[in-house]
């Protein structure tokens, strides 16, 4: 029982990080039907920005987190303007190839400037541990930070989407881009806002991972990016609650498999779950079946 509680704590922390990254995938897909495979590398850039701020400028955790989110949001808007906007009306395969190209460009540009070696993230949060069940269950303060910040960011995103003009415009563009444009909504600006918000969440996830695991490298965004995409598809891509559910579901599954079935199989199980869900519910666990006109 103690091990189960311990893995639940670890799974919630990991799932929160996956959920933050998955939100960027699902927001962009919901607006322009694009799978932004460079999103995981924006998360990597956020980790390196946080590393630079804490190492060289000696800033604290929260200022570094905020600045990393701002830098990543600007990077997301630049990528959208330079790479995705010119091919917005092209075929899906062209958009997919462009996204993969942007991902590789970010990886190897970062590798050129910072070298491919693994860096150790500074200890910006004191490692204090709370013990339960006679010391058999350990709750690190870092877990609390990750869970609380993740929940706050998700609640903030939900508020933006549901109760602000930008959020209402996003929902309108998601439902019918042409009709929204006819109603006076600046579609290009809304798409840029969507990339900015999604990239900011990925940047926050990058800093949280750096603080929690203490190591970063230029290729760190590849596997978490793919897993976050899996989480978005599991929950129902294009749906914000689905991305949150998929992130936590995947994080819990991965930690349970690592604890009881061997860490070697955790990645395989994640993608096996995706295959099973797509066979049973192609629109995701929370997705709704939609009909396309031909």
**Range among 11-25, 38-52, 86-100 with highest mean pLDDT value:** 38-52
pLDDT at 102: 95
pLDDT at 213: 87
Q: How many CB atoms lie within 10 A of CB 120?
A: 11
Higher-pLDDT residue of 119 and 2 is: 119
pLDDT at 223 over 80: yes
> What are the structural domain ranges in the chain?
2-280
Domain 2-280 listed as CATH 3.40.1710:
no
Q: What is the mean pLDDT of residues 202-224?
A: 92
Higher-pLDDT residue of 91 and 263 is: 91
Query: Mind listing the pLDDT tens digit for each residue in 165-195?
Result: 999 999 999 888 889 998 899 999 999 999 9
For residue 273, what are the CA distances in angstroms to 19, 24, 50, 93?
A: 16, 21, 33, 25
pLDDT at 293 over 70: no
pLDDT at 195: 95
For residue 23, what are the CA distances in angstroms to 134, 152, 242, 263, 291?
A: 38, 14, 9, 26, 24
- DSSP code of 90? S
Query: Mind listing the pLDDT tens digit for each residue in 267-285?
Result: 788 888 888 888 888 888 8
Residue 270 near residue 253, CB atoms below 8 Å? yes
Q: In which band, very low, low, confident or very high, does the pLDDT at 292 lie, cut at 50, 70 and 90?
A: very low
pLDDT at 291 over 60: no
| Burial class of 74 by CB neighbour count within 10 A (0 to 12, 13 to 18, 19+) | middle
Q: How many CB atoms lie within 10 A of CB 136?
A: 12
Residues of the chain with pLDDT > 70, as a percent, come to 95
Residue 268 near residue 274, CB atoms below 8 Å? no
For 102: left if phi > 0, alpha if psi spans -120 to 50, otherwise beta; the answer is: alpha
> What is the CA 29 to chain-centroid distance, rounded?
13
Residues of the chain with pLDDT > 90, as a percent, come to 49
pLDDT at 207 over 90: yes
């Amino acid at each position: 029982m103690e091990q189960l509680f311990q893995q639940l704590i670890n799974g919630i922390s990991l799932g929160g990080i996956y959920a933050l990254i998955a939100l960027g995938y699902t927001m962009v897909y919901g607006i322009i039907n694009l799978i932004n495979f460079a999103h995981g590398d924006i998360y990597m850039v956020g980790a390196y920005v946080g590393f630079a701020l804490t190492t060289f400028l000696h800033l604290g955790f929260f200022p570094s987190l905020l600045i990393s989110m701002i830098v990543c949001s600007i990077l997301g808007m630049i990528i959208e303007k330079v790479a995705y906007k010119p091919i917005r009306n092209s075929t899906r395969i062209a958009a997919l190839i462009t996204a993969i190209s942007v991902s590789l460009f970010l990886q190897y540009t970062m590798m050129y400037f910072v070298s491919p070696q693994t860096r150790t993230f500074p200890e910006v949060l004191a490692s204090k541990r709370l013990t339960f069940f006679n010391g058999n269950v350990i709750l690190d303060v870092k877990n609390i930070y990750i869970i609380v910040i993740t929940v706050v960011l998700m609640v903030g995103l939900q508020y933006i989407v549901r109760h602000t003009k930008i959020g209402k415009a996003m929902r309108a563009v998601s439902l019918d881009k042409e009709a929204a444009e006819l109603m006076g909504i600046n579609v290009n600006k809304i798409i840029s806002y969507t990339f900015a918000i999604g990239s900011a969440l990925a940047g926050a996830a990058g800093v949280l991972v750096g603080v929690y695991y203490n190591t970063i490298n230029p290729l760190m965004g590849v596997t978490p990016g793919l897993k976050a995409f899996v989480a978005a598809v599991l929950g129902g891509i294009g749906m914000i609650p689905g991305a949150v559910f998929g992130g936590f579901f995947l994080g819990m599954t991965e930690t349970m498999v690592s604890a009881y079935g061997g860490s070697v199989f955790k990645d395989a199980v994640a993608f096996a779950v995706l295959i099973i869900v797509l066979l049973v519910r192609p629109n995701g666990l929370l997705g709704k079946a939609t009909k396309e006109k031909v």
